[in-house]
Amino acid sequence: MKKSLIVMISILMILIPALTFATGSRQSSSGQTEVKVLNYWSLTNPNSTEEPIRVWQPFERANPDIKIVKEDEFNEPFHYKVEAYAAAGQLPDVMYVWPSGRSTTLHTQRLLKDLSSLVRRDNLASVYTSVALDPSQQVAGYLGMLPRGMTATNAFFINMEVLRDCGLQPAKTYSELKAQVPILRAKGYDTIIMANEDTWVMQSCLFSAVAGRFCGEGWEQKILSGQAKFTDPDFVAALNFIKTMYDDGVLLRSTIATSYGDGIGLFATNKGAYYIDGDWRVGDFCTDPSTGQALISPARQRNFQITVFPDIDLPGVKFNRSNSVVLATGWGMSAAVPAGSAREEAAWKLIKWLVGKEVQLYNISTGIAPTPSRSDITDADIATLNLEPLKVAVGNLGKEYDRATVVIDGAFEGPVYTPLNDGLQAIGMGTQTPQQVANITQAAFDAWKATQ
């Protein structure tokens, strides 16, 4: 109800200036082609002041015939704004997009232009990986966005400063992790820091990987095809493991009140031994070029490691050394942009720049997209970046796991994963059991399936 109210308010705010992102020909007073852009960006993030200088200004200088009118939003306000614009029929020309998950509305309602013909025209298959241009990797089965890389949504950060203070080594199994809880607590440390106030974090950054280990490869396809259910024992066992983590004190219930902006600071200041997030979070620990400051200095970074969640040595696990992986975010174009128009050409030129080699190398240097979608980025290119230790570590994360399984909000649509997200938080708070969450999720899936 709260989210629906926020979306409705956002829609009203957009409808007042009703022609904000109107369709049709659009020329500025100087004769430039105007392109409206919705960007995912926050001034409070490390490296944020560098982005306009490294990404947007060079494009504007190289394309004086194009005028960019950009709006910046971040986290939940961004998603509320997208839904509001979509409902009002006023989407921007170019927008930051997920291949599924939070951008499901854009894909399934075909509000994004299919970029396949433009990709073929410009022979982009010669400079992008095949998976990046595979339409089946996007929720509606067409090329609605160009991704800037691949994303490992579970990154298990290890603080060796804390562990050494307690005479410990990184836990290799869950049993070892559990055994470290009282030792760490005696020294005043949390075991795992995680920002679980936003419900997507648990699902994306931990539970998706856990579900893959308990349910096996392709488990989501079995549910989608009706061969399996969320209420089956393996999925319930995966949910029960999250409850076990809270019950064992490996995860404190207080993490449910930890905001996404606060988790990195707690970990960087040695409040806990481990931290769970996605691979994109590395850049927030590293040096901000605009200030020369870092949450974790390059010298200290050598005391930190990045791997995947430890082996779960409990009954029911099908395999370990796996991770949840999905196409990274990228850029798409509104389907309302007229085909063959100057606006389409300008928007396409911008998208190609935003996922081009120069910008992807910049993204690697910041740590926000360590695994590029470009096939023409070489080891020699990366060597020129002089990466800080944590950025090197996250670039090697793919060597830490043997199997890739799905991210749940990449495999299922919002009506299905939203009650699961909420249920994972309810498990932590003790207000719902794993079986109840499984039942609710299956009921949500059945209701969604009936509309297809």
What integer pLDDT is reported at residue 25 of this predicted model? 52
Q: How far apart are CA 205 and CA 35, in angstroms?
A: 34
**Residues 108-133, buried b or exposed e (16+ Cβ, 10 A)?**
beebbbbbeebbeeeebeeebbeebb
What integer pLDDT is reported at residue 289 of this predicted model? 83
What integer pLDDT is reported at residue 156 of this predicted model? 98
Query: Encoding tokens for residue 38?
Result: 């919705």
Give which of 377, 347, 346 is closest to 362, Cα–Cα: 377
SS3 letters for 142-166? Answer: CCCEEECEEEECCEEEEEHHHHHHC
Q: Which amino acid is present at 382?
A: I
Pair 342, 33: CB distance under 8 Å = yes
- Which DSSP state fits 32? P
Query: Strand 145-147's sheet: what is its strand order?
Result: 66-73, 33-40, 94-97, 330-333, 145-147
| Residue 187 backbone phi and psi in degrees, to 5 | -95, 5
Mean of the per-residue pLDDT values for the chain? 92
Report, as an integer, the average pLDDT of 137-141. 89
What integer pLDDT is reported at residue 121 of this predicted model? 98
Q: Which amino acid is present at 155?
A: A
Q: What angle do CA 291, 293, 296 make, to 5 degrees?
A: 155
Whether the pLDDT of residue 19 is over 90: the answer is no
Whether the pLDDT of residue 452 is over 60: the answer is yes
What integer pLDDT is reported at residue 379 of this predicted model? 84
Report, as an integer, the average pLDDT of 164-189. 98
- Non-local (6+) Cβ contacts of 434 within 8 A are 236, 239, 240, 242, 243, 427
For domain 2-147+329-368, which architecture applies?
A: 3-Layer(aba) Sandwich (3.40)
Fold entry, domain 152-325+402-450: D-Maltodextrin-Binding Protein; domain 2 (3.40.190)
Report, as an integer, the average pLDDT of 129-137. 88
What integer pLDDT is reported at residue 46 of this predicted model? 72
Whether the pLDDT of residue 14 is over 50: the answer is no
Query: Encoding tokens for residue 285?
Result: 């620990």
Whether the pLDDT of residue 3 is over 50: the answer is no
Pair 158, 393: CB distance under 8 Å = no
Whether the pLDDT of residue 245 is over 90: the answer is yes
Q: How far apart are CA 385 and CA 369, in angstroms?
A: 14
Whether the pLDDT of residue 4 is over 70: the answer is no
What integer pLDDT is reported at residue 154 of this predicted model? 97
Q: Which amino acid is present at 407?
A: V
pLDDT band of residue 49 (cuts 50, 70, 90) is confident
Pair 404, 322: CB distance under 8 Å = yes
What integer pLDDT is reported at residue 48 of this predicted model? 80
For 217, 316, 323, 333, the CA distances from 213, given in Å and listed in that order, are 8, 9, 8, 36
pLDDT band of residue 79 (cuts 50, 70, 90) is very high
Query: Encoding tokens for residue 366?
Result: 């910041």
Per-domain boundaries in the chain:
2-147+329-368, 152-325+402-450
Q: Are strands 66-73 and 33-40 parallel, antiparallel or unpaired?
A: parallel
Report, as an integer, the average pLDDT of 315-321. 97
Over the stretch 180-237, which tens digit does the pLDDT of each residue have? 999 999 999 999 999 999 999 999 999 999 999 999 999 999 999 999 999 999 999 9
Do the domains 2-147+329-368 and 152-325+402-450 sit in the same CATH topology, yes or no? yes
